[in-house]
Amino acid sequence: MAAQKFLANPPRFLFFTGKGGVGKTSVACATSLTLVSLGKKVLLVSTDPASNIAQVLGTSIGNTITAIPSTPGLWALEIDPEEAAAAYRERIIAPVRGLLPDVELSLMAEQLSGSCTTEIASFNEFTDLLADPELTAAYDHVIFDTAPTGHTIRLLQLPGSWTDFLNEGKGDASCLGPLSGLEKQRATYARAVDALKDPLATRLVLVSRAQSSALKEASRTLDELASIDIAGHHLIVNGVLPQSAGDDALTQAIRSRKQQALAAMPENLRGLEIDTLALKISNMVGREALLSLLSEEQELSPAIHTEVAPIFHEAPLRVMVDAIEADGHGLVLCIGKGGVGKTTVAAAIAAELAQRGHDVTLTTTDPAAHLSDTLQEEIPRLSVSRIDPESATQEYRDQVMRTKGKNLDEVGKAALWEDLQSPCTEEVAVFQQFSRAVHESMKRFVVVDTAPTGHTLLLLDAAGSYHREVARQMGDSMSFITPLMRLQDPVATKVLLITLAEPTPVTEAAELQEDLRRAGINPYGWVINNSIAAAQPESPFLQQRAHNERTEIERVKSLTPHYAIIPLMTEEPTGAARLKAVLG
């Protein structure tokens, strides 16, 4: 096994973070297995609301610490937001059950049912692992596989945010309901902050691909972490094309793109300890595949590598855009796992609709999105916006002060302003701006590049909570339309699930489709992005990767009535001309 700098003298806690789709879960799992092979006892923890470590390790895990049968010495935990929130509600309500009327208990449960409470509940489990030595005393190392960067930065900021909120004497946030337990967490939050800032206790490892967008995101992450006194010293560049991949035209083009991205690496990353991991022939699922990730050795399968890759021409994205255009206006949501190309697909659809003469808004809810980098130029009739959590929160606070605070005295205004400093306010503010985008789609096309799956589900959960509250207040006396109702309307909204032809993204998209259907939202179709098979590779290495795609492409076709396949492009799909090529 090659010596990896990030594994030299590892501290107790290791965090892996980065842009969606860069391979954080694979690296975290491979690291865990490697440490176990050295005789260490390891707890692997996922803080991603859309965790897939169970699939990667090939065993069921869940919201309790679970021993991995195939690997003695390894335990895993997926912090499930919904289960954490349910347990949290029960801890708050149980002491007063039987003492308060049912009506008040129902009100408490309603106050504790929003996405903000879900976040706090998950966050408490995360901080407990960092701050309570007894919880992790049985393990030599605790490995954190985190959510995509924007969500992780929020998670890492929360201990300080809640500590400040409590230290400054501010009362319980109204959106949280009667959370008397929050004050009791003060010491835990403080210990969690100390652990995160101590390089002897915690090592934060940035994971990236040799892609400009992923490296820029790693650079921004490094700066944001420094602003909250958390230092990052290690960078892993994953998925580097090995020399054994060959030198046909497609392979040369891919290698050239990666080399150009690395040559233009942001300056603040150059001073880090850098490891590179080669792209593997097989998908990173199962113990043997994961152990190979940190190794430089791999072999082609002689039974497969000479086989000509299948050609897919039957499902260009252009056909899907034709169907979207037929409605004249509406909402298009591009949803999926991080790193599958949601931004590229959303930009290609929006640019095409604008070039066909429609008024279009392209917006993003992803803190790590790079729409301007993808478009690179202004396109007539296309406006670009971003739902920025920080500006959305400030706008929301100002709005509440203008309305609810209008007739309050100075003491009342001060109390209201303090309440609005709660970290929970951000969730409400982002949902409000998302609702505006939904409303705007009644008159024009609005294409939304969403945050990676877990964060998007929290946003949709907020839409459900808002819908239930409006329905409760309106009753049967008045008609109303909520954002959720627009999302449930197949004419008003087209939900596109974006994926790669790989097991993990397809499985996650399939699970997301079921989650959406339970919420009454039926996805319109799927888009398979960056298909090697559709690019018709000639090198044995890429042909074998193409062969691996076959099963997943057939699986997608069985899950949806509409699908599109976008081949892996020889050039980065940025700018109007290259985005048009994405349409097929």
Active site positions, annotated: 21, 23-26, 48, 504
The DSSP output letter for 100 is B
H or E segment at 498?
strand 493-499
CA-to-CA dists, residue 531 to 316, 319, 332, angstroms: 12, 17, 22
CB 235 within 8 A of CB 273: yes
Give the Cα separation of 569 and 584 in Å (integer).
11
Give the Cα separation of 386 and 365 in Å (integer).
7
**Amino acid in the structure at residue 205:** V
**Amino acid in the structure at residue 152:** T
Q: Which two tokens stand for residue 417?
A: 């302003």
Sheet holding 13-17, edge to edge: 66-67, 74-78, 42-46, 141-145, 13-17, 202-209, 232-240, 273-278
Q: Are strands 360-364 and 445-449 parallel, antiparallel or unpaired?
A: parallel
Q: How many CB atoms lie within 10 A of CB 465?
A: 19
Give the Cα separation of 19 and 412 in Å (integer).
42
Q: What is the dihedral of CA 132, 138, 139, 143, to 10 degrees?
A: -50
CB 176 within 8 A of CB 112: yes
The DSSP output letter for 133 is T
Q: Which two tokens stand for residue 42?
A: 């390891």
How many helices and strands, by DSSP H and E, does the chain display?
Answer: 23, 15
Nearest partner of 16 among 187, 188, 152, 190, judged by Cα: 152
| Residues paired with 141 in a beta bridge | 42
DSSP collapsed to 3 states, 518-545:
HCCCCCCEEEEEEECHHHCCCCHHHHHH
Q: Are strands 330-335 and 493-499 parallel, antiparallel or unpaired?
A: parallel
H or E segment at 102?
helix 102-111
| Residues paired with 202 in a beta bridge | 13
CB 179 within 8 A of CB 85: no
